Amino acid sequence: MSDLSLTFEELYEEVEKFLGTYSSGSASATDLADAKFIVNRAYSRYCSYWDWTFLSQERTLEIIDGVYKYELPSDFSYFVGHKFTFDADGSYPDIVERMPLQIKELRSDANYENYPMYYALQAGSYHKSTGQGWEVWFYPIPDSAYTLHYSCKINPQKLVDAGDIPIGGADMSDCLLELCLAYAEQNKDEKMLVHNEVVNSILGPAKVMDSRRRSTQLGNLSDGLRVLDIDGDSVHSGNVIVSS
């Protein structure tokens, strides 16, 4: 690890120290399991407390001829932007969102193959070893192989190995650490004292810091069109997605 991010081991050792179960040798299996559980529960809270920029990811989906249903990655949470785009050759319009029932109705009315125009998010299979899955349906049925691009929010995977680094980067480590200690304080001591107060004071600056990563200026589109030597009248006038 080259930056100042805290590892999973460093986080659960701090929890052990707070609970008085830390040992320079090896902690008991029960104490270690408790500390790891606390860190992962706090990690889950940390990821859900705020619309963190680092939870928004760009993904690629390869679709093939004749298949309309595809499983999404196990860390998928929800779509951002509500559209799929094709590779940037300008040949196809964006694929826009519909409800699963609408996709079913379209398929029952005219089940044919073409480039996809619509998609729908649908709950997929649930497996007790991997959890709830999600899948995406397309209409029309793809008539060829296409590379599609989309944006989504993710649910980071559970921290397991000692060297695992939580999502968010070094500047979020203190925030996560205080959440771990606050969770331990509340659930082991059954009190909301020092570390819960620290969390309240540290979350605000963490949100401000993260907000600095967001795009806030769209700029003058007409200027951009002139630079690119594009005729503004010929540009598609659909929705422009701006980070907020």
In tens digits, what is the pLDDT along the chain, a chain of 244 residues? Answer: 467 899 999 999 999 999 998 887 777 899 999 999 999 999 998 998 888 999 999 999 999 999 999 999 999 999 998 899 998 666 899 999 999 999 999 999 988 999 999 999 999 988 888 788 999 999 999 999 999 999 999 999 999 999 999 999 898 998 899 999 988 988 776 555 655 666 666 676 676 666 776 665 555 544 444 433 434 343 333 333 333 3
Contact partners, residue 231, CB within 8 Å, separation at least 6: 225
Using a 10 angstrom Cβ sphere, with 0-12 exposed, 13-18 middle and 19 or more buried, the burial of residue 188 is: middle
Q: What is the DSSP letter of 136?
A: E
For 9-61, how does the pLDDT look when each residue is reduced to its tens digit (9 = 90+)? 999 999 999 999 888 777 789 999 999 999 999 999 899 888 899 999 999 99
d(CA 177, CA 188): 16
Question: What would you measure as the largest C-alpha separation in the chain, in angstroms?
Answer: 71
pTM: 0.75
Q: Which pairing describes strands 76-86 and 118-127: parallel, antiparallel, or unpaired? A: unpaired
For 130-139, how does the pLDDT look when each residue is reduced to its tens digit (9 = 90+)? 788 999 999 9
